[in-house]
Amino acid sequence: MLSVLFARPSYVCLIIASLLFALSLTPSMIPRPFVLQGLLSGFALLSGYGFGVLAIAVWKYMELPGLKGKAGHYFHTATAILVACIVITSLYLYSMWQDELRIVLGLPEHRSERILSMALIALGFAASILLLARVFVYFYRQLANKLQRRIPHRIANVLSVTVLLVLVFFFSNTFIIGKLLNVLDHLYAASDALTDTGAERPGQQWQTGSDYSLIEWDTLGRTGQNFVSLGPQKENIAALFPAEESMHPLRVYVGLRSAATVEARAKLALDELKRTGGFARSKLVIATPTGTGWHDPSGVDPFEYLHRGDTAMVTMQYSYLPSWLTLLLDPTRSKVASRALFQEVYQYWTSLPKSSRPQLYIYGLSLGALGAETSFDFSSLLRDPIHGAVLAGTPFPSKFAPELMEQRQAGSPQWQPIIADSSFVRFTSQENATSIPGATWGKVRVVYIQYAADPMVFFSPDLYYKEPDWIKNERGPDISPSLRWYPVITFLQVLFDLPMADRVPKGVAHNYAASSYIDAWIAVSQPANWNKQKTTKLKSYFSGN
C-alpha cells in the first residue's frame, strides 16, 4: 500500500502541474486573499497533474517508447530546472499581478501577499487530494484483483470503480457534506433570529411589524427587521429636498417564519400592503431580496428619495442562507417566491382603476434579480404592462440576461450591450449608459446594472474551453489588460472569484454603488420635477453615507 501512496510523481505530471500553478497566479477579475488563492492554485496543481496522468496513459496505450538511460536522466534534470524556474518566476510576479489588478479596480496597493503561506496551502491541498486519489486507486486495485478471479477482468474493473464511487459518494454526502450543510443551516438560522443594534420595533400604524401590523415583528428575521425599521423617513427626505413635500415611505416585509408556505406568505404580503395603504402611493415596487433576505440600502433607499417618499415597497424572504449557498442547494427558490408575490400583487393591481393605481416596478439584486426577472410573463406585459424593472448583478444562471447579451447589436461589448432599438431593455455600469442617442423608451423600461468585473454575472461553465467575448473583444474599464484566457485556468479563476464578488468596496465587482442605482431608477421611474443638479446632490449624499 505504501508503494502506491508514496510513489514518485511523474516528471511529465510535474511540468504540467507547475505550468498550471503559474497560470493560476495571473490576474483574473478580483484580488484574492492568500488562503483562497492557495486553494485555487492547489486545484490548478491537481488539474495539471491529472492532465499529465492522462497524457502518460495515452502514450502507453499507443505503445510509444519512453526515455531511458542518459536521455531519461537529462530529461529529468531539465524538468527539475524548468519546474523550479516556472514556480519561482510566477511567485515573484504574483504580488505585482495582484497590485496591478487593484489599481485597475481603484483599490489600494498591498504588496505583502503572504506568498510562502499561499504556496504551502496550494501544495498541501494538492498533496492531500492526491493522497486520497491514490488511496482510491489502491482499493480499486485490491477489489479488482479479487473480482477478476470470478468474472472477466474488464467487468471486474468497471464494477470495482462503480462500487468505490458509490461508497465515496455515500460517505461524503452523509458524513461530510450533509453534516457541513446542517451546521451552516443552524448557523444562518441562528443569525436570522438575531436583532441588529439600532433595529427597533416600529410603532406607527402604517409600519410592518408594529402592533397594528398583520405580521409579527419576531417573524421578520434580522434582515426584515432592518428593512422595515432602518429605511429613510419623511424627515430624512425633507432634509435633503426641503423645498418639496415629502412622505413616509411604506415598506412591507414578510419573513420566512411569518407564514408556513410561499403562497401564504405572498397572500400575507398583499394583505399587509393593502392595510398600509400601499396602493394609494404613486409608485409601487415588488422587490426580491438576496438569499439571506437582505436588501442593499444602496438599491432601495434612492428610489424613495427620488419620489420624496410617495412610494410603497413589498418583499418577502425565501431563505436565510447566502445567495451562493441558496443557488447551490435550491436555485429555483428565488424564482418561485418572486413569482408567487408578483402574481398576488399584480392580480390585485390590475383590478384597480388605471387612473388611480400606482405605477408598478420590479426590483432585484443578485439572486433577487434572478427571481425578479422571471416573476412575470410577457403575456401580462402585453395585456396590462408593468412600468419597468431595475435588475442588478443578475447571476450567471439567468436565462434572460445572457440571451440578451448574446443578441446585442454588433459593435457593442458584452458587458454593456445595446439591445435592438433600446426601447425595452438597456444595460448600464459605473458610468451611466441609460441615455442612448437616437433611442426612445417604450411603455416598459427595464435596466440591467452590471459591472464588467462581476464574476457573479460573467462566470460560465464554458469558460473551461471557450474564450468569452468580455476578454476576447472590447474590455470593460475594470478588467485588467493583463488578464488572459487559458483553458481550465480561467474557469477556475473566475469560479474562485465568486466568493469574493461582494467583498470589495462599493462600485466594484458585485458590490453595486448607489450612483448606479440612481441612474437606473431615474431612467426607469422618471421622477417628477427632476434635474441634473438633484441627481448630483443625491449621489453626493449617498457617497457620504
Q: What is the average pLDDT across 512-529?
A: 98
pLDDT, averaged across the chain: 92
Residue 3 has pLDDT above 60, yes or no: no
Q: What is the average pLDDT across 33-61?
A: 92
pLDDT of residue 62: 82
Domains in the chain (CATH in brackets) are: 2-189 (no CATH), 201-451+512-543 (3.40.50)
The predicted-structure confidence for 72-125, as pLDDT tens digits, reads as follows: 777 778 888 888 898 999 999 998 899 888 888 888 877 666 899 999 999 999
Confidence of residue 180 (pLDDT cuts 50, 70, 90): confident
Q: Which of 238, 38, 187, 52 is nearest to 122 (CA)?
A: 38
Residues 6+ apart with CB under 8 A from 164: 136, 139, 140, 143
Residue 5 has pLDDT above 60, yes or no: no
pLDDT of residue 56: 85
Residue scoring higher pLDDT (467 or 154)? 467
pLDDT of residue 112: 61
Q: What is the average pLDDT across 182-207?
A: 91
Cell numbers linked to 445: 423600461
The predicted-structure confidence for 219-243, as pLDDT tens digits, reads as follows: 999 999 999 999 999 999 999 999 8
pLDDT > 70: what percent of the chain?
A: 97
Confidence of residue 177 (pLDDT cuts 50, 70, 90): confident
Residues 6+ apart with CB under 8 A from 61: none
Cell numbers linked to 521: 431608477
C-alpha angle 223-228-230 in degrees, rounded to nearest 5: 85
Residue 471 has pLDDT above 90, yes or no: yes
Reported as type and span, the H/E element at residue 361 is: strand 359-365
Confidence of residue 71 (pLDDT cuts 50, 70, 90): confident
Q: Give the pTM.
A: 0.92
pLDDT of residue 181: 80
pLDDT of residue 275: 98
- CB atoms inside a 10 Å sphere around CB 175: 10
Confidence of residue 254 (pLDDT cuts 50, 70, 90): very high
pLDDT of residue 154: 87
Structural contact between residues 516 and 449, judged by C-beta atoms closer than 8 angstroms: yes
Q: Which of 274, 273, 269, 281 is nearest to 358 (CA)?
A: 281
In angstroms, how far apart are the furthest CA atoms of the chain? 92
Structural contact between residues 501 and 456, judged by C-beta atoms closer than 8 angstroms: yes
Residue 250 has pLDDT above 70, yes or no: yes
Ramachandran quadrant class, 319 (left: phi over 0; alpha: psi -120 to 50; beta: rest): beta
Q: Which of 311, 387, 377 is nearest to 354 (CA)?
A: 387
What span, in angstroms and rounded, lies between the C-alpha atoms of 288 and 337? 8
Residue 7 has pLDDT above 70, yes or no: no
Place of cell 468596496: 505
Q: What is the average pLDDT across 23-33?
A: 94
What span, in angstroms and rounded, lies between the C-alpha atoms of 442 and 170? 54
Residue 418 has pLDDT above 80, yes or no: yes
Tallying the residues shown for the chain, one arrives at 545
Residue 34 has pLDDT above 60, yes or no: yes
The predicted-structure confidence for 366-406, as pLDDT tens digits, reads as follows: 999 999 999 987 666 778 999 999 999 999 999 899 999 99
Cell numbers linked to 389: 424593472
